[in-house]
Amino acid sequence: MQMVNITIDNCKIQVPANYTVLEAARQANIDIPTLCFLKDINEVGACRMCVVEVKGARSLQAACVYPVSEGLEVYTQTPAVREARKVTLELILSNHEKKCLTCVRSENCELQRLAKDLNVKDIRFEGETSNLPIDDLSPSVVRDPNKCVLCRRCVSMCKNIQSVGAIEVTERGFRTTVSTAFNKPLSEVPCVNCGQCINVCPVGALREKDDIEKVWDALANPELHVLVQTAPAVRVALGEEFGMPIGSRVTGKMVSALSRLGFDKVFDTDTAADLTIMEEGTELLNRIKNGGKLPLITSCSPGWIKFCEHNYPEFLDNLSSCKSPQEMFGAVLKSYYAQKNGIDPSKIFVVSIMPCTAKKFESQRPELSSTGYPDVDVVLTTRELARMIKEAGIDFKSLPDKQFDDPMGDASGAGVIFGTTGGVMEAAIRTVSEILSGKSADNIEYNDVRGLEGIKEASVELEGITLKAAVAHGLGNARKLLDKIKAGEADYHFVEIMACPGGCVNGGGQLYSHQW
Amino acid sequence: MQLYRAHVLVCGGTGCTSSNSNKIISELEAQIANSGIQNEVKVVRTGCFGLCAEGPIIVVYPEGSMYTMVKVEDVKEIVEEHLVKGRIVKRLLPGGNVKDENVSAESSDFFAKQHRIALRNCGVINPENIDEYIAFEGYKALGKVLTEMTPQDVVDVIKRSGLRGRGGGGFPTGIKWEFAMKQEADQKYVCCNADEGDPGAFMDRSVLEGDPHSVIEAMAIAGYAIGANQGYVYVRAEYPIAVKRLGIAIQQAKDYGLLGKNIFGTDFSFDLEIRLGAGAFVCGEETALMTSIEGHRGEPRPRPPFPAVKGLWQKPTILNNVETYANIPQIILNGAEWFASIGTEKSKGTKVFAVGGKINNTGLVEIPMGTTLREVIYDIGGGIPNGKKFKAAQTGGLPEDVFLQAILIRRLTMIH
């Protein structure tokens, strides 16, 4: 990349010619505040928090979209810049519903942080506020338009990255709002409940449906045998909320915390992921050998399943007949486990801790209740679990490590890698290999599918079968991959699709990242 | 060709139409037929004359008598007295400005200090008849450009003329065209911003209602200059008469081969389509306008890249305002030096203003750049009603300057 010389606040720096002023400033460790900006997702220059003075320009420019050029002179802290940023922020705050004390985003709200960083000491403009209804009819996602700052991140994520387009900006001027088609509740539009909109929302306008009270009630009910299972992606995320480094593996502390909260048993969803992969591997082999519908497509991501139902119904027969791991585990707990332990399944209450908001919707599907009771009663996100632990006054960091409970607390490494993109495919291929040859497959080499970012493919030689597989994460990529299959441009045996970009570790129920 | 001894021009602009000018036209036609002079007198529905305060307006040629605030009941008298007997109906002449019945409307104070370039055909021709436009040198400039000039020649003329964008930004038009001309691209576009939204403004509406072909011709010239074969006029749906006449004009131009393939037998092809705005103020901003044409929610996008580099559908695009375009054919025909001789050092040519508020002659005026506010208010505008004192005036849209009494000498230009 060609480099250009620019000056920011009198610092001379050299940056690639395709940089924006914001990227250049960050390289020079100069902080420019942003609100609507989200790298590669939302680069629209809408909020004007990042305005800077560019020498020769008629007015202040948005650093997040202003391209650098040779000799550019930028000033990020002039009186005009400070004044503009502050007044803009005050105007955003003027009609914001400032119920910060009780807001789910209190202390990790980007707007709150900006108000602090920009030293806003008083709300000078008490403007008219919106009083729009809160949409909480979806089992997964709650929309509160009164807290929305119209940054468009959720819209970009839903439309451009996920290719779902369930929400869009509507109305004009002061009445502008992010809404659905015909202002229907999210539960009545093709929202897939992936919760990626929540992850990118800078404020509390989008949040998961809070089911914590249901769990407290169950835990307090002496008649109920309350079980909990935790998904693989939760254990690597939870620690961050308690001040531990990002990516800390806190499996033992998490199990301890769940025990202290009062769960009768703490199980590992990885166990069920093992079951899933045995089932799915066998199913794949059967379909290949007996001329079944191919490619076999994974069914463990409920966001993807709903996306498939709405957008690609012709692929429904391609989906694996396996339940997702959490549902499989729930079914096992209410049948096998209930029987083994002589507990009436009606008295078993299964809670799942998931990195996912779509799992909430999944658990409410009437068809997923083979025992006559819902396989899973309540799904909590990683965020909700963190809130429960805090509410219970548990000092998470100093908890001792604890093992998952037997008999279902033991799992292979295959289940763990379900949490990341490509993991299910790798585990399935290993299983197929083992069934065929009695030995595990060697390292699997992935190649990017030509011209399609976010989609990878691999082909593995297994006892005379050349197994062709592909992996897509993020529904926009899934759409591209499915269109390719539909057009007859690809003939895979096995396809793994995860609704969230990056897989479950970046699920819509994970902790808010502060990396924007 | 049928020749007439008299022409009766009736204003068909939005203002006079809302004051019943359509009924006046049908009554005129009925009365003229009644008197048996339908082969001697022709009634023409024109665009805006500008003196909106006095509408509905009728001008009878060859005398050039302007009748103001005409009611349907007055028509019989106009036909019987003026058209049949040749006696001007004095009581309908504008009291304030035309002192002598033998003086034509053009010589009244309201018109005398004006210089009509963009509005040259407004109130003169029937905008729904391409032949009338052609009779007033219409499409001659396009013919000249296509057969005698290179794109660079065209850009040079516009640059030398000093024409600046009339939409408010005041960017030099020729430089804008040159940027777009120099871009290498498989496709380029020419857009016209007719999403006039400033409160009280109706300059662009009046040009489209009164002389739509001037914009079409100019856009084709721009297409030739920058290498575009497709144009879009983005006009707000709240301008139904303008939309209708523009649509008629585009169809007539296509029928005459003045739009479409191989115009004037050259290699140059250019087509034009109308896009209606749904009333969003922000769509008058050029990037929001393009986003709207593309079919998206009309919201601005970052500049740079500027439209001349990445505009409509990411292709090099020029956007000019209606009034800017309306100047182009005259500049081509009369030369850059002619245009540059009008106005001030840095602001060349004329500017159309919609004059409203507490002023006698509310309406539409076109004045040379550099005319003072005092002249606009007291000479052309006829002063303030009831002889009251001037307090303040606002120019441009809402965000523009407010001029207080002390700066009545302020010269109106494109440079703020």
Q: Do B301 and A67 touch (CB under 8 A)?
A: no
* Amino acid at position A58, single letter: R
Closest chain A CA to residue B298: A172
Indicate the pLDDT class of residue A458, thresholds 50, 70 and 90.
Answer: confident
Name the residue among B280, B299, B302 with its Cβ closest to that of A65: B302
| Nearest of A176, A216, A197, A204 to residue A351 by alpha carbon | A216
Residues of A with CB under 8 A from a CB of B: 44-45, 62, 65-67, 168-169, 172
- CATH code matching the domain that covers B130-340, chosen among 3.40.640.10, 3.40.50.10300, 3.50.50.60, 3.40.50.11540: 3.40.50.11540
| Nearest of B184, B347, B197, B212 to residue B286 by alpha carbon | B197
Q: Å from A250 to nearest chain B CA?
A: 44
How many whole angstroms separate alpha carbon A147 and alpha carbon B113? 56
Q: CATH number of the domain at A38, please.
A: 3.10.20.740
Residue among A140, A299, A320, A352 flagged as catalytic: A320
- In chain B, residues with a C-beta closer than 8 Å to the C-beta of A45 are 301-302
Interface test with B, best of A42, A172, A179 (most B CBs within 10 A): A172
Whether A362 is catalytic = yes
- In chain A, residues with a C-beta closer than 8 Å to the C-beta of B304 are 66-67
Pick the last residue of a domain from A93, A111, A130.
A93
Name the residue among B297, B301, B304 with its Cβ closest to that of A169: B297
For A439, what's the count of Cα atoms within 13 Å in the CB-facing half-sphere? 5
3-state SS, residue A127: coil
Whether A320 is catalytic = yes
Output the pLDDT for position B98. 46
Which two three-digit tokens encode residue A264?
A: 């009768």
Name the residue among A66, A67, A172 with its Cβ closest to that of B280: A172
Output the pLDDT for position B102. 56
Q: Do B302 and A44 touch (CB under 8 A)?
A: yes
- In chain A, residues with a C-beta closer than 8 Å to the C-beta of B297 are 168-169
Peptide bond before residue A313 is cis, with ω within 30 degrees of 0: no
pLDDT tens for B17-75 read: 999 999 999 999 999 999 999 999 999 999 999 999 988 999 999 988 999 999 999 99
Looking at the domain assignment, is residue A288 inside a domain? yes
Domain tally, chain A:
2
Name the residue among A44, A67, A172 with its Cβ closest to that of B304: A67
Looking at the domain assignment, is residue A203 inside a domain? no
Tell whether B306 is within 8 A of chain A (Cβ).
Answer: no
Q: Do domains B6-106 and B130-340 have the same CATH topology?
A: no
Looking at the domain assignment, is residue A300 inside a domain? yes
Handedness of CA B274, B277, B281, B286 (dihedral sign): negative
Beta strands in A23-88 (DSSP E): 51-54, 61-62, 73-75
Tell whether B304 is within 8 A of chain A (Cβ).
Answer: yes
Which two three-digit tokens encode residue B274?
A: 């109308």
Q: Burial letters for B114-138: b for 16+ Cβ neighbours within 10 Å, e otherwise?
A: bbbbbbbbbbbbbbbbbebbbeeeb
How many whole angstroms separate alpha carbon A89 and alpha carbon A117? 11
Q: With DSSP H G I counted as helix, E B as strand and the rest as coil, what are the percentages for chain A, rounded to 5?
A: 40, 15, 45
Residue among A110, A362, A384, A426 flagged as catalytic: A362
Between A433 and A354, residue with greater pLDDT: A354
- In chain B, residues with a C-beta closer than 8 Å to the C-beta of A62 are 302
How many whole angstroms separate alpha carbon B412 and alpha carbon A149? 40
How many whole angstroms separate alpha carbon B63 and alpha carbon B87? 11
CATH of domain B6-106: 3.40.30.10
Burial class of residue A191, CB neighbours in 10 A (0-12, 13-18, 19+): buried
3-state SS, residue B406: helix
Looking at the domain assignment, is residue A472 inside a domain? yes
Which domain does A62 fall in, by range?
3-93
Which residues, including other chains, have CB under 8 Å from residue A184's CB and lie 6 or more apart?
A: none
**Phi, psi (rounded to 5 degrees) for A151:** -75, -20
| Nearest of B209, B212, B228 to residue B220 by alpha carbon | B228
Pick the last residue of a domain from A93, A128, A143.
A93
| Nearest of A231, A229, A257 to residue A244 by alpha carbon | A257
Check: CB of residue A86 under 8 Å from CB of residue A116: no
Q: Do B297 and A66 touch (CB under 8 A)?
A: no
Pick the last residue of a domain from A43, A68, A93.
A93
User: Number of A:B CB contacts under 8 A?
Assistant: 14
Q: Do A65 and B297 touch (CB under 8 A)?
A: no
Q: Å from B299 to nearest chain A CA?
A: 10
Tell whether B301 is within 8 A of chain A (Cβ).
Answer: yes
Long-range contacts of A127-134 (CB under 8 A, 24+ apart): A127/A91, A127/A94, A127/A95, A128/A95, A128/A174, A129/A95, A129/A96, A129/A97, A130/A95, A130/A97, A130/A174, A130/A175, A130/A177, A132/A177
- Greatest CA separation for chain B: 66
Indicate the pLDDT class of residue A337, thresholds 50, 70 and 90.
Answer: very high
Output the pLDDT for position B139. 97
Output the pLDDT for position B34. 94
How many whole angstroms separate alpha carbon B7 and alpha carbon B58? 10
Whether A283 is catalytic = yes
Strands A141-143 and B402-404, bridge-based pairing: unpaired
- In chain A, residues with a C-beta closer than 8 Å to the C-beta of B305 are 67
Residue A368: DSSP 8-state = S
Whether A159 is catalytic = no
- In chain B, residues with a C-beta closer than 8 Å to the C-beta of A168 are 297
Tell whether B309 is within 8 A of chain A (Cβ).
Answer: no
How many whole angstroms separate alpha carbon A376 and alpha carbon A111? 36
Check: CB of residue B236 under 8 Å from CB of residue B195: yes
Which residues, including other chains, have CB under 8 Å from residue A384's CB and lie 6 or more apart?
A: A208, A210, A211, A212, A509
Indicate the pLDDT class of residue A129, thresholds 50, 70 and 90.
Answer: confident
Closest chain B CA to residue A20: B304
Peptide bond before residue B305 is cis, with ω within 30 degrees of 0: yes
Q: Å from B232 to nearest chain A CA?
A: 24
Residue among A300, A308, A322, A356 flagged as catalytic: A300
- In chain A, residues with a C-beta closer than 8 Å to the C-beta of B301 are 44-45
Indicate the pLDDT class of residue A516, thresholds 50, 70 and 90.
Answer: very low
Check: CB of residue B158 under 8 Å from CB of residue B335: no
How many whole angstroms separate alpha carbon A359 and alpha carbon A498? 13
Looking at the domain assignment, is residue A57 inside a domain? yes
Looking at the domain assignment, is residue A133 inside a domain? no
Closest chain B CA to residue A172: B280
The DSSP secondary structure of B219-241, one letter per residue, reads HHHHHHHHT--EEEEEEETT-HH
Whether A327 is catalytic = no
Which residues partner with A509 through β-bridges?
none
The percent of residues in chain A predicted with pLDDT above 70, rounded, is 94
Interface test with A, best of B283, B297, B306, B310 (most A CBs within 10 A): B297
Residue among A53, A283, A327, A426 flagged as catalytic: A283
Q: Å from B303 to nearest chain A CA?
A: 8
Name the residue among B280, B297, B302 with its Cβ closest to that of A45: B302
**Phi, psi (rounded to 5 degrees) for B407:** -115, 35
Which residues, including other chains, have CB under 8 Å from residue B32's CB and lie 6 or more apart?
A: B38, B41, B43, B79, B83
Closest chain A CA to residue B301: A44
| Nearest of A256, A210, A235, A282 to residue A418 by alpha carbon | A235
CA-CA distances (angstroms) from residue B133 to A199, B223, B233? 60, 20, 19
pLDDT tens for B26-38 read: 999 999 999 999 9
Q: Do B304 and A45 touch (CB under 8 A)?
A: no
Q: Do A66 and B304 touch (CB under 8 A)?
A: yes
Cα angle B383-B389-B393, degrees, rounded to a multiple of 5: 70
Low-confidence ranges of chain B (pLDDT < 70): 95-107, 396-416
Residue among A128, A367, A445, A489 flagged as catalytic: A367
Output the pLDDT for position A425. 77
- Above 80 in pLDDT, residue A442? no
- Helical ranges in A66-117 per DSSP H: 79-94, 110-117
Which residues partner with B236 through β-bridges?
B277
Which sequence spans correspond to the domains of chain B? 6-106, 130-340, 350-407
Which residues, including other chains, have CB under 8 Å from residue B280's CB and lie 6 or more apart?
A: A172, B288, B292, B298
Output the pLDDT for position B407. 59
Closest chain B CA to residue A58: B169
How many whole angstroms separate alpha carbon A492 and alpha carbon A470? 7
Averaged confidence pLDDT in chain A: 91
Which two three-digit tokens encode residue A324?
A: 């997702």
Between B55 and A76, residue with greater pLDDT: A76
Matching residue, tokens 């299959």: A485
Which two three-digit tokens encode residue B269?
A: 């092809």
Give the Cβ contact number of residue A466 at 10 Å.
9
* Amino acid at position A135, single letter: D
* Amino acid at position A488, single letter: G
Sheet of strand A11-16: strand arrangement: A11-16, A3-8, A73-75, A51-54, A61-62
Whether A504 is catalytic = yes
How many whole angstroms separate alpha carbon A39 and alpha carbon A23? 10
Name the residue among A62, A168, A172 with its Cβ closest to that of B302: A62
Q: Å from B411 to nearest chain A CA?
A: 23
Looking at the domain assignment, is residue A496 inside a domain? yes
Which residues, including other chains, have CB under 8 Å from residue B213's CB and lie 6 or more apart?
A: B127, B130, B133, B138, B139, B249, B252, B253
Q: Å from A259 to nearest chain B CA?
A: 52
Looking at the domain assignment, is residue A438 inside a domain? yes
Q: For the ranges A421-425, A468-472, B275-279, B366-370, which has the lowest average pLDDT?
A: A421-425
Interface test with A, best of B291, B303, B309 (most A CBs within 10 A): B303
- Helical ranges in A101-250 per DSSP H: 110-117, 153-156, 196-200, 212-220
- In chain B, residues with a C-beta closer than 8 Å to the C-beta of A67 are 304-305
Check: CB of residue B325 under 8 Å from CB of residue B222: yes
- Above 60 in pLDDT, residue A431? yes
Q: Do A44 and B297 touch (CB under 8 A)?
A: no
Closest chain A CA to residue B169: A58
Q: Å from B194 to nearest chain A CA?
A: 20
Output the pLDDT for position A151. 95
